[in-house]
Amino acid sequence: MALFKIIFLIFIIFTSLNGYESEAKLKAVIVGKVAKYITFQDDKGSKEFVITIYKNKCANTFDNIYKDVKINNKPVKIVYIDNIEDLGYTNVLYISKVNSATLSKILEKTKNKNIVTISSNRGFAQKGGVIQLYFVSQKLKLKINTQSATQKNLKIGSTLLRVADIVKGDKV
């Protein structure tokens, strides 16, 4: 009984604490967060900041996070697509896990467009994506392909570059 009391006491002490985040939620937050550090040259005067999700695998995580959020003083609109041909105007394109052929198609489709492509697909930054997300020891890390960003006429702020690993083109 004494052991049970000790366990319960320890348990109560630690039940008002901060939380570990799920990888999916943190990725969803970062997708919009990085956009705050990027200057878009070609926003076509849109009244909304558009984030497009290709092959959503996160249920309604994006909707929940961006419900009342503004990016660059614009309300956020989340668009879900399953076919890259359906890609309309967007500031950010988040690509869920896809195979190489599909990824090549997507990168070709968005080439030279003023869109921040983000994905956690392996080798994404070297393959021409702008921002790659990956996890090491339970922490999120970023890889930014500055050459891709320049080609897309995106200006990435120094704060973001400072916290990311820089990839230049397809070089290791």
Q: Which is nearer to other proteins, 24 or 42 (CB)?
A: 24
- Which residue do the tokens 């869920």 mark? 96
Task: Give least dist CB 62 to other proteins, A.
Answer: 11
- Contact between 4 and 120 (Cβ < 8 Å): no
* Shortest distance (Å) from residue 130 CB to other proteins: 15
Nearest approach, Cβ of residue 80 and other proteins (Å): 14
- What does the binding site for other proteins look like in residue numbers (CB under 8 A)? 3, 7-8, 10-12, 14-23, 25-26, 29-30, 32-34, 37, 55, 57, 65-66, 69, 97-102, 122-123, 126-127, 134-142, 159-160, 163, 170, 172
- Rounded distance, CA 171 to CA 143, Å? 12
The least distance separating other proteins from the CB of residue 112, rounded to whole angstroms, comes to 22
* Half-sphere exposure (Cβ direction) of 57: Cα atoms closer than 13 Å: 11
Q: Which residues, 6 or more positions from 8, have their beta carbon under 8 angstroms from its beta carbon?
A: none
Of residues 45 and 99, the one with the C-beta less far from other proteins:
99
Name, in order, each residue with C-beta under 8 angstroms of 31's C-beta and a sequence gap of 6 or more: 51, 62, 92, 94, 118
Instruction: Report how far residue 109's alpha carbon sits from residue 104's, in angstroms, rounded to the nearest whole number.
Output: 8
37 vs 89, beta carbon nearer other proteins:
37
Is the CB of 42 or the CB of 105 nearer to other proteins?
A: 105
Q: Hey, is 86 helix, strand or coil? A: helix
Could you tell me the smallest distance in angstroms from the CB atom of residue 8 to other proteins?
6
C-beta of 2 vs 45, nearer to other proteins: 2
From 142, 112, 105, 111, select the one nearest 31 (Cα to Cα).
142
Collapsing DSSP states into helix, strand and coil, what is residue 39?
Answer: strand
